[in-house]
Amino acid sequence: QVRLEQSGPDLKKPGASLRVSCKASGYTFTSYYIMWVRQAPGQGLEWVGGLSPHNDKPNYAQKFQGRVTMTTDTPTTTAYLVLKRVTSDDTAVYYCARVRGFYDTSAPDWGQGTQVTVSS
Amino acid sequence: DIQMTQFPSTLSASVGDRVTISCRASQDIGPWLAWYQQKPGRAPKLLISQASVLETRVPSRFSGNGSGTEFTLTINSLQPDDFATYFCHHWTFGQGSKVEVK
């Protein structure tokens, strides 16, 4: 079955970069988009961006442009999210999810979430 | 980015009630809207894709409707397990609608 295994919780100081990984299995990695979503404490879901492993063309939310990088490594079927210059506002649970396509952006499979805390 | 506006933000209901949540897209997205249910501490669960297609093993009391910019999620005969927060999604997410016990 489809499985998305994320890296463990992380603590970052303000100004540092956060990196979350998402190891995919159970499906053809290059056939589906991966999107990244975050959820701050007590808040809703916030789309960070998405990436097709087929062509590595990212689609970032405007809010994160210039600060975010999403990549994939096809041999290890792993997706990565890097967010630079973090502040306390970036404290959140970060999720990766498998997306059906560019138009049908529904996500039937999600990682378990990675808690990232930004604190000095 | 497309903006998704969801309402109400909170809905108080009782078991057996019919509830409806609305979602509006800032531009025409055709049928490409999904609905999720989320419970505290859990990842979202996909309920409906393509505005009205029920995912496998999702109870038939859930239904979705709409196209273009206006969409709705309806839960017929609300069950105890349905008290949760619901999100609409097309790349970006709506703000969420919490269904709570009246």
Tell me the per-residue pLDDT of A15-39, one tens digit each, with 9 for 90 and over: 999 999 999 999 999 999 999 999 9
Contact A110 B50 (CB under 8 A): no
State the pLDDT at residue B61: 98
State the pLDDT at residue B1: 84
DSSP H or E stretch at residue A70:
strand A68-73
Separation of alpha carbons A16 and A18, rounded Å? 7
What's the gap in Å between the CA of B20 and the closest CA on chain A?
Answer: 19
**pLDDT confidence band for A53 (50 / 70 / 90):** confident
Of A45, A111, A113, the CB nearest to B87: A45
Instruction: Calculate mean pLDDT across residues B10-30.
Output: 97
pLDDT at A62 over 90: yes
pLDDT at A54 over 90: no
State the pLDDT at residue A11: 98
> B91, B95, B97, B98: which to substitute to probe chain A, counting the most A Cβ within 10 Å?
B91
**Percent of chain A surpassing pLDDT 70:** 100
**Which range, of A57-61, A73-77, A91-95, averages the lowest pLDDT?**
A57-61
Alpha-carbon dihedral sign for residues B12, A47, A115, A51: positive
Instruction: Calculate mean pLDDT across residues B44-64.
Output: 98
